[in-house]
Amino acid sequence: MTDIFAADYREQPYWWDDAPRPAPCAEKLPAKVDVLVIGSGYTGLMAARETAKGGRSTLVIDAKDAGFGCSSRNGGQVSTSIKPDLATLSGRYNQEIGFGIRKEGLNALDCIRTFIESEKLDCDWRQVGRFHAAHNPKQYETLAAYPKSQPKGLEVPMEIVPAAEQRREIASDYYHGGIVYPHHASLHPGKYHLEMLRIAKAAGVQVIDHCPATNIERDGNGFIVTTVKGKVAARDVVVASNGYTGPMTPWQRRRVIPIGSYIIATEPWPKEKMLALLPKDRVVSDTRKLVFYYRLSPDLTRMVFGGRVAYMENNPRVSAPRLHDWMTLIFPQLKSARVTHSWMGYVAYTFDTLPHIGKQDGLYYAMGYCGSGISLATYFGMRIGQQVLGRAEGGTPLDNIPFPTRPLYSGNPWFLAPSIFYYRLRDKLPI
Ligand SMILES: Cc1cc2nc3c(=O)[nH]c(=O)nc-3n(C[C@H](O)[C@H](O)[C@H](O)COP(=O)(O)OP(=O)(O)OC[C@H]3O[C@@H](n4cnc5c(N)ncnc54)[C@H](O)[C@@H]3O)c2cc1C
């Protein structure tokens, strides 16, 4: 197939079709607030909702449209999301902290489910489960050992699927079996963001978009934040800029690594044809270091297929054919499926592959979800809001762990190209 692009091809998230970004607001910046939150994604809105509910006047600003960052661009796959295992974390800190951090992943998944269900958020939430597929036999062996080695107190339901039975999960022979996590879920990221925006505003939060903050300076016990729309005095400031963190907050910028993640959506096909590919409508990821993640659209008519297919490239027209090639390697059935949408966004990796939350130089922050932040940003956004209020429940085992950086790193990930090149080679090896 030479032309993979549909006639109505667009370089914007598929999610924006049904959840368009809100029209730019015309509201004037207040001169003074109790809490100013920088960034209007899941982290920022959850933090703001919490502080507004706690009686603090709260303003959220965003450099672009509300939710312009990852929160309206992601793959909509919801999981427990803490990357390092218990042994790694216990070795790095101690058993108690390691256990506590792993537990936060489970808490985050519980938190988002309870939040969506109790607030009745209209966001296509479905606890469909995940099929995590082994890209080689060695990885299958590793996955197959998981159920027997679950740490006490951190057990989650899981089911091993050998290669011979894989077709009950996915109409592809590309993988070597896998594991199912039935509690993982899918949602519509754009709708989830709009619903969060709605209830944050209902709690009294003011949101001003197209208002990048350009400077933060101390002012007595508080801060003066300069934006393109004027200055605001705030007693407390929450930095919720994640993979879009800029030079204004150099301490945080030195600690997050912005990495491009890319997605395409295919043209609509009949539901039966698409459900034949993923018969249980599960979300799928694989064991490659440069992971591919995909799922059906909420209306079951499209494949939404993502991965890290570029080093420094940020042009969705360039990433689309690469993703289409990979997609058709897994599903040759989709060879003739044209691409209607291609987009990308910057996830925030960290040097220790953990999220981080805390206070530095008087500024609160929560960030660094390493590519799986739907549940974590929801949860740690809420927690950092509680910390601003000085509430004990805001505490997390991540509070006192160091947020590492590297010498000479100032926010420009010059090492990304060689790292991705290395991982690409590694993914080809039988390890
Ligand atoms: C393509 C892609 C696919 C993904 N898929 C998944 C997935 O399937 N599952 C999952 O769990 N996670 C996924 N993620 C990650 C997840 O979306 C993020 O971890 C989560 O949305 C982070 O939310 P956030 O609020 O912290 O940051 P963001 O939503 O990125 O928000 C940060 C905001 O800060 C604003 N900002 C930055 N600087 C300033 C400034 N100076 N002044 C004002 N505003 C500023 C930005 O404009 C931006 O809107 C994916 C991400 C991408 C990009």
pLDDT tens digits, one per residue of 215-264: 999 999 999 999 999 999 999 999 999 999 999 999 999 999 999 999 99
Going by pLDDT thresholds of 50, 70 and 90, the confidence category of residue 420 is: confident
**Closest by alpha carbon to 286, among 420, 145, 143, 133?**
133
Model confidence at 1: pLDDT above 70: no
- pLDDT, average across residues 377-402: 97
Enter the tokens of residue 133. 């597929």
Note whether 237 and 338 are within 8 A (CB): no
Sign of CA dihedral 302, 308, 314, 315: negative
Q: What is the pLDDT of residue 265?
A: 98
What is the reported pTM?
0.97
Q: What is the pLDDT of residue 169?
A: 98
Widest CA span in the chain: 67
Model confidence at 276: pLDDT above 60: yes
298: left (phi over 0), alpha (psi -120 to 50) or beta: alpha
Chain centroid to CA 347: 7
- H/E stretch holding 172 reads none
Q: How far is the CA of 40 from the centre of ligand 1 (A)?
A: 9
C-alpha distances (whole Å) from 369 to each of 122, 167, 238, 352, 427 are 24, 32, 16, 11, 22
Going by pLDDT thresholds of 50, 70 and 90, the confidence category of residue 419 is: confident
Q: What is the pLDDT of residue 83?
A: 95
Q: What is the pLDDT of residue 2?
A: 60
Q: What is the pLDDT of residue 422?
A: 72
- pLDDT, average across residues 85-99: 97
Enter the tokens of residue 155. 């057990």
Q: How far is Cα 371 from Cα 348, in angstroms, rounded to an integer?
A: 7
Q: How far is Cα 362 from Cα 237, in angstroms, rounded to an integer?
A: 8
| Pocket lining for ligand 1, CB < 6 angstroms | 38-44, 61-64, 68-71, 73-78, 81, 212-213, 240-244, 246, 248, 261, 263, 293, 306, 344-345, 347, 367, 369, 371-374, 377
CB atoms within 10 A of CB 428: 11
Model confidence at 311: pLDDT above 80: no
**What is the DSSP code string of 232-283?**
EEEEEEEE--GGG--TTSHHHHTT-EEEEEEEEEEPP--HHHHHTTSTT--E
**pLDDT tens across 191-215, in order?**
999 999 999 999 999 999 999 999 9
Note whether 287 and 255 are within 8 A (CB): no
What percent of the chain has a predicted confidence (pLDDT) above 90? 90
Q: How far is the CA of 418 from the centre of ligand 1 (A)?
A: 24
Q: How far is the CA of 145 from the centre of ligand 1 (A)?
A: 33
Closest residue (by CA) to atom 47 of ligand 1? 63
Q: How far is Cα 323 from Cα 264, in angstroms, rounded to an integer?
A: 7
Model confidence at 431: pLDDT above 90: no
Which atom in ligand 1 lies closest to the alpha carbon of residue 41?
Answer: 25
State the SS3 of 406-417: CCCCCCCCCCHH
Q: What is the CB-side half-sphere exposure of residue 161 using CA atoms within 13 A? A: 21
Q: What is the pLDDT of residue 417?
A: 72
Q: How far is the CA of 429 from the centre of ligand 1 (A)?
A: 32
Going by pLDDT thresholds of 50, 70 and 90, the confidence category of residue 290 is: confident
Contacts for 139-142: CB closer than 8 Å, 24+ residues apart: 139/176, 139/287, 140/176, 140/177, 140/178, 142/287
Q: How far is Cα 292 from Cα 306, in angstroms, rounded to an integer?
A: 6
Q: What is the pLDDT of residue 312?
A: 67
Q: How far is Cα 95 from Cα 173, in angstroms, rounded to an integer?
A: 40
Residue 153 CB contacts under 8 Å (≥ 6 apart), including other chains: 99, 103
Supply the DSSP symbol for 410.
Answer: S
Supply the DSSP symbol for 126.
Answer: B
Bridge partner list, 222:
219
Q: What is the pLDDT of residue 392?
A: 97
Average pLDDT along the chain: 95
Q: What is the pLDDT of residue 310?
A: 67
